[in-house]
A and B are shown apart, each in its own frame.
Chain A
Amino acid sequence: MSPSRRHQAGSRQTLVQALVAIAAAGASYAWAMGIGPPAVARQLAAPEAMLVRALLDIGESRFTSALERIDSLLLSNPNFRLAQLVKGDLLLARSRPINSIGNASGAPSDQVDGLRDEARARLARYQIETPREFAPRYLLQMPQKQKYALVLDSAKSTLFVFENSGGAARYVADYYVTVGKNGLEKLRQGDKRTPIGVYHVVSQLPREKLADFYGSGAFPINYPNEWDRVRGRDGYGIWLHGTPRDTYSRPPRASDGCIVLANADLDALARILQIGSTPVVIADVLDWARPGEVEALRTDLLTSIERWRHDWESRDTEIYLRHYAGKFSSNGMTLAQWSAQKRHVNASKAWIKVQLSDVSLLLYPGKEEIAVATFEQDYASSNLSNRMKKRQYWIKEGGRWRIVYEGAA
C-alpha cells in the first residue's frame, strides 16, 4: 500500500474487523457493533444517515430507538427496502429471538443477500473520512471549463464528486451507487460488469423518454472508449441512472453494468454534470494522493505533450513520430500507415502551427500506466487549418510516455 492511501487505513481496519464479525456470527447484526464514527465525518444524505444510525443502534441493543428511526425514515422514504427489512427484523425480534439480518421466511435468498450487502456497504460508507488533504491520483489536471469530476470507488460502493478548485480537485459530495451484478472490468456485451477506466458523460436522456426503471434520468458514458475498442472490448449502454419508483436504492451489485444512484442523488448530479466534458473515472479501489505527490507525474506528462506539439510544428517528421508507441493505432490505422501518411502530408507544408488549450489530464486506474489527455487543438499550416477536440492515450513505453491512440474526442 502506498503511503498516500494511509489515511484510509484506519477505517479499513475497523471494517475488516466488522467483516470478520459478520463471518463469525453468520451475517448477524454483530457487524454493526464496534463501528464508530470516522475521524472526519461526512454529511450523509438524510435517509442514509437515519438508516445507519438505526443499524448502529441495533449494534448497541437500542432497539426501540432503532425502530423509531426506521419508522421515521419509512415515513419519508417508504420504498427504502433495506429499511423495510430492518423494520421486519426489529418487529420480529419482539416476538422471538433473531440472529441474522433479514429473517423473512420463504424469501428469495438472493434478494435478502443483496439487502444484507447493502447494509454492509452503507455502514462502510459511514466510516469513510472526508477526503480533505487527498484526491484520487487520477485527476491530474482539470481545465478551467471543466467544473467537476466523478470518481467511482467500487469497493466502497461510492461515487465521489470533486470540484475544480483553481485546478485542484476538491471533495464536494459522495453517493451510494450500485454497479454490475458481476462486479467491475467489463469485457464483453452481456457480462453484467461495469467497466474500469476513464470515461466521460456524453449525453443526457430526460426522464420523459425513459422507462420507470431508470428513475429520474440517465447519463450515458462513452463505454467502450477508444482504448476499450483498441483492446477489443465490446458492449454498450453504460449509463449513470436513477432508480424505479418502487425502490429507493438497489443492492451494491445488481445492475447489468450501469451505475445506479438514488433519484435524489442523480438529481443532484444532474445539476453539475457537463455533457461531453465531465469525466467519470471508475476504479475497483481508489488510489489517493496528496496534490504534491502527483506533481512530478503531471509535469512529466505535460512536458511530453508539449514536446509532441513542438516536434509536430518543427516538421521533422521522424522526430515527431518518435512520440508514438509501437502498438499505436488511430481509427484502424497502424503505426506504419500513420507514419506513411504523416511523412506525405508534412512534406507538402511550408509551415505548421499547433496550439493546445483546455488540457484535461486523467490517469487510468489500475496497474498499467496509461494517461488520457483531452484538449482543444488549433491547427494551422501553409495549406490547411482546423480546430478540433482531440483525445490521446499515452502509455509508458521504453521509459518514456508515448501516444498509443490519437483521434477526435
Chain B
Amino acid sequence: MRYEAPKTLEQAIALLAGANGQAKVLAGGTDVLIQLRSNRAAPDLLVDIKAIPEMKSIVADAGGYRVGAAVTCMELIENETFARAWPGVVDGVKYIGSVQVKGRATMGGNLCNASPAADSVPALIAAGAVAQIAGPQGRREAPVEDVVLGPGRTSLAPGELVVSFVLPRRAPHSGDAYLRFTPRTEMDIAVTGAAVNLTLDGKGVCSSARVSLGAVAARALLVPAAAAALVGTKVDEAALARLAAAASAACKPIDDKRGTKEYRIKVAGVLARRAAKIALERARGQG
C-alpha cells in the first residue's frame, strides 16, 4: 500500500484517477484506519488530502460559509463565528467520538464514510448545506442529502471527492439544533439523531423549516412532512406533537445491537421535538 500527500486538488484528482478504483481518500482517518486494520478495506493507494488548502479552510462567503471538507471537528468547534451562526451543525460535530477523535475527524469523512448514523450529516442536511464536489470530469455540487445512497455507498463517481460544504446565508431569527440518543453520555454511535433548522418571521411564526433524521434508515433522511408540521405555527405543543408524529412515521429503521426498530421510531419523535425546542430558543435569541 502506498501513501501520497498531494498539495493541490488537481494532483489529488490525478492520483485517484490513476489508481483504477484501488485508492482511498485519507482525511482524518478515524474510520479509514479502522477499516484497514480489520481488512474491510485494502486499497493500493492512500491519498492524504490534508495538505490541500481549499479543503482545510473555513471561509465566510457571501453571508454564508464555505467549510473545507478536511477541516477537523475541533477546528470547526473552535471557530466562534461559525458556531454562532450554525450551533446545530456544531452540535452534530461535537458528538463525533472523543476529543481525540474530533482532533482528526472531518465532516467530509463523516459524510463520505456513509454510515447511516453519522452525527454531522442530519444538521448539515437541515441547514441546506450543498457539497462542492470535484473529480476527473470537473466540478459539480449536490445537496448533502443526495450524497449518501446507503450504508457505505455514496453517489460520488469514481475519482470524485467532496471538497467543501457551502452553507447558505442565515436569515434573522433562525436557529438550528441536533440531538442524538446514545446509551452513554459520550463515545457511542447514535441510536437515533434528529436535526431541526427553523426560521421565524417578525411575529414569531415559523416561516421555514428543515428536519433531518439520522440512524433511522439506510441514510440520513430529509423529512418534509416533519418540517411542514412547524411552518405557519408558533412551534407550540400541538405543532411539536405533529412534528414528532411525522418524524416517527418517516423512520425505516433496523434492529441491531444499538437499538430496536420500535425504540428508534419512538425516540426519533422525542428527539425531533426536543431539538425543535432548542432550535426555537436559538431562533428567538438571534437578532
A binds B: no
